[in-house]
Structure 1
Amino acid sequence: MTNPRVRKIADRIQVTVAEMLERRIKDPRLGFVTVTDVRVSGDTQHASIFYTVFGEEEQVAASAAALESAKGLIRSEVGKQLGTRHVPTLEFIHDALPENARHLEELLEKVRESDAQVAAAAAGATYAGDADPYRKPHVEDDEDE
């Protein structure tokens, strides 16, 4: 479980960075960036900022370069907003979770289609032998004793 103070700092950094990207950073390379998560080290010296970019691989690369060049400006604003003695170093990490989720959804859809084909093929099928192929022990009545 994370320290509540560290979680509060991470939340404040996430809001500050998102507002900066939306309002103050005017880099044309910056695409449609969404800050998905911020993780701050226990000593609050380092912040990892996870983000996604809507678009193709070129937009992802251009946005990464824009974030790297704006890192100083963003860090100074984070320092003003936090009001702490030490401002954490910022590291921007492209969050691959949405792409992985999309890939998993595609795989699940293929499996659903395959299951539907198997179910359709098995719809009119009958057992090769008896419906219950297991032998049952002969049960005698208890009245004989």
Structure 2
Amino acid sequence: MVDQARARRIAERIKQLVTQGLTQVVKDERVGFITITDVRVTGDLQHASVFYTVLGTPEDRETAAEILATYRGRLRSFVGKGLGIRLTPSVEFILDALPEDAQHMDELLREVAARDAELAAARARGDFAGEPDPYRKPRTEEDGDAPDAPDAR
């Protein structure tokens, strides 16, 4: 049986250790701004997926991926020493797509707001399709077509 609470605690500890290891173990000036966003551990605690984001250009993302791949073994060793459990999980670094997804959602929301503004402007300057008051009213003499006087027979 998998202990979900223990797996969450270990995932959180791995997140802290990898973040700490980026400053202590990785001695590369090209690292840039890497942020560890999430860690997911399998139920048997044998594999950890570390999600990260990089602030910068796509070239910065590629450089960060290369650096993390190069230092993966050293970071795993650092995590193993800090965890204090019998088996150290294997570590896999995955670029988190959350910032790109959030940016796409922001663009969609801006587009929807612009369309709403266009519809509101069209609604404000719009007129009725027919007469302003479409309901029938009894004719009056002012209309010019006064009804005939009733026969007095």
Q: One fold, TM greater than 0.5?
A: yes
| Residue equivalent to 2:53 | 52
How far apart are the structure 2 equivalents of 1:51 and 1:45?
A: 20
| Residue equivalent to 2:126 | 125
Shift of 1:114: 1.5
C-alpha RMSD of matched pairs (Å): 2.0
Question: More deviation in 18-27 or 40-49?
Answer: 18-27
Shift of 1:27: 1.3
Shift of 1:128: 2.2
| Residue equivalent to 1:104 | 105
Q: Which has the greater radius of gyration?
A: 2
Aligned length: 132
| Residue equivalent to 1:30 | 31
How far apart are the structure 1 equivalents of 2:24 and 2:117?
A: 49
How far apart are the structure 1 equivalents of 2:118 and 2:23?
A: 47
Supply the AA of the counterpart residue of 1:18.
T
Shift of 1:2: 7.0
Shift of 1:22: 2.8
Shift of 1:16: 0.4
Structure 2 gap segments, 5+ residues each = 135-153
Deviations 1:83-106 (A, max 9, x none): 111000000000011111111101
TM-score (norm 2): 0.80
How far apart are the structure 2 equivalents of 1:95 and 1:58?
A: 16
How far apart are the structure 1 equivalents of 2:3 and 2:33?
A: 30
How far apart are the structure 2 equivalents of 1:99 and 1:129?
A: 49
Structure 1 segments (4+ residues) deviating >6 Å: none
**Does the 8 A contact of 1:31 with 1:60 survive in 2?**
no
Deviations 1:35-86 (A, max 9, x none): 0000000000000000000011100000000001111111011111111110
How far apart are the structure 2 equivalents of 1:23 and 1:125?
A: 66
TM-score (norm 1): 0.84
Question: More deviation in 103-112 or 47-56?
Answer: 103-112
* 2:125 counterpart SS class: coil
Identity rate, percent: 50
